[in-house]
Structure 1
Amino acid sequence: MDLDDRTAPATPFTLRPAVEGDAAKAAEVWLRSYDAALPQVRRAHTDDEVRDWFRYVLVPGGDMWVAQETADGAVAGVLVLDGTGIDQLHLAPEQRGRGLGDLLVSKAKELRPTGLELWTFQVNTPAHRFYVRHGFTEAERTDGSRNEEREPDVRFVWTP
């Protein structure tokens, strides 16, 4: 077989810019992801406030991507970029370990080829390992006094 004839394996996900109809489903992914990954961290906003934030701020803001399951169209993940930052990256809990996070980080790097930064809570050690695996390095730790949750956090940066 000629090497040029090989194709990459099909991904079970499709990435696309978010549209108005995605807000509710994307907010549910965020809520479920947060609750599964960070049960010990107080949320600064109610479920309804998070849903409104997606509907009125994030989706209209224009730099939000959703990952849909190719088979059934369910929203499986959310990526929100803000300038050079990954503002949000959340997966439906049942989607962990399927390569979806890798796909979303690759999209972020494609869209921000000069570099990225992000914040995550210090207690979220699985996220730390994930971002380090993707070439991010720890740049700063804080006591959390500048975030709404008042939770100690870490800033990671990726420079190509």
Structure 2
Amino acid sequence: MTKGARDVLLRRALASDAEAAAAVWLRSFAAALPGVVRPRSDDEVRAYFRHVLVPARDTWLAEAAGGAVTGVMVLEGEDLEQLYLAPEWRGRGIGDRFVALAKERSPGGLTLWTFQVNGPAHRFYERHGFTAVEWTDGAGNEEREPDVRYVWRP
């Protein structure tokens, strides 16, 4: 039997979760965005999770039975900063649950950036009522990759 979103707990990340959250981010980024060059090393990404995202942001995890971290979402006010799922857990409704949680925590609206090359992300966010409002050449992001800003308003 395939495990789905109902078999996964969404919970706030603890300091002890930073390494597992970073590992999900690294695996997901590599799988979803193979052509995008990351400006930071794996160790720098882990340190960012450990010192910034988990302690200073509204960071949430998806945790499967047995404790495996299957997804991570980071909010900063109305900004949906990060939403990444372990590649083997995509398409099971966890992202849908994360977006519902983000909307609940920011009922006035949300904004996010995603890369223009990430067609699956565009379709996912549009399905959840987000609208593309700005396209850039990537000069404003670390990856220097063209991106698009999405906004959701209730």
1:10 CA displacement: 7.9
State yes or no: 1:104 paired with 2:98: yes
Given candidates 18, 21, 24, the residue that maps to 2:16 is 21
| Residue in structure 2 matched with residue 140 of structure 1 by the alignment | 134
Given candidates 48, 51, 60, the residue that maps to 1:56 is 51
Secondary structure of the 2:91 match is coil
State yes or no: 1:32 paired with 2:27: yes
1:62 CA displacement: 3.8
Q: C-alpha root-mean-square deviation of aligned residues, in Å?
A: 1.2
Give the 4+ runs in structure 1 shifted more than 6 A.
none
Given candidates 81, 86, 100, the residue that maps to 2:80 is 86
Q: CA deviation digits over 1:57-81, x for unaligned, max 9?
A: 1111141001101x21110000000
Answer yes or no: is the 8 Å Cα contact 2:24–2:85 preserved in 1: yes
State yes or no: 1:67 paired with 2:91: no
Q: CA deviation digits over 1:85-140, x for unaligned, max 9?
A: 10000000000011000010111001000100000000000000000000000010
Number of matched residues? 151
| Residue in structure 2 matched with residue 158 of structure 1 by the alignment | 152
Structure 1: segments with no counterpart, 5+ residues: 1-8
Q: CA deviation digits over 1:9-65, x for unaligned, max 9?
A: 981110111101100000000000000000000001000000000001111114100
Structure 2: segments with no counterpart, 5+ residues: none
State yes or no: 1:116 paired with 2:110: yes
Distance 1:105 1:57 in 2: 22
| Greater C-alpha radius of gyration | 1
Secondary structure of the 1:11 match is helix
